[in-house]
Amino acid sequence: MSELNYVLLEQIEKSDRIKYFDYLLMADESEEVVKEYLFDGDLFAIILDGKAAGAVLFTFETHDVVELKNIAISCNETGKGIGKLVIEKAFSIYKKRNYKRMIVGTANSSIDNLAFYQKAGFRMYEIKKDFFKKYPQPIYENGIRALDMLMFYKELQVPLMKQSR
């Protein structure tokens, strides 16, 4: 049994979401942008050893597509597999709610995120050119300016294959 099974996702009511604003800013540097989606979708606190260690926010693209909008884990908890477990728990939650696909976007400059999402089973499907040019301040990561949003998806429901006769 993995020692990370004690990570819990606790859904946060809209009235309490502002308490998790600083976590969301860890993954999205623009206060203005985070304020635009803070009260959308489902926000979960990432609970580790009974205390909040991060937050994850999901929005809904369509009736069967959920978007992982923001995930942030405290700096002293990164690199321990917590993010992967959070993603796996989210797959389970939204699969049970009959969502067929989860999507996520990350910047072209977010090298670690690009690897993380692919290791979690996501596949690239779209590039939103110049997405980050609308941000009030330029964002740089790994010496690269964030310009484009790379979109990934993961199927949550396995499509039934047609049987041949």
In this structure, is residue 37 part of a structural domain?
yes
In this structure, is residue 82 part of a structural domain?
yes
How far is the CA of 51 from the CAs of 2, 6, 100, 103, 165, in angstroms? 19, 11, 31, 28, 56
Reported pTM: 0.88
Regions of the chain short of the pLDDT cut 70: 1-5, 159-165
Give the pLDDT score at 160: 63
Could you list the residue range(s) of the whole structural domain that residue 105 is in? 3-155
In 3D space, the residue among 44, 39, 42 whose CA is nearest the CA of residue 10 turns out to be 44
In this structure, is residue 100 part of a structural domain?
yes
Number of structural domains the chain divides into: 1
In this structure, is residue 65 part of a structural domain?
yes
In this structure, is residue 164 part of a structural domain?
no
CATH of the domain at 132: 3.40.630.30
- φ/ψ (deg, to 5) at 157: -110, 125
In this structure, is residue 160 part of a structural domain?
no
Give the pLDDT score at 81: 85
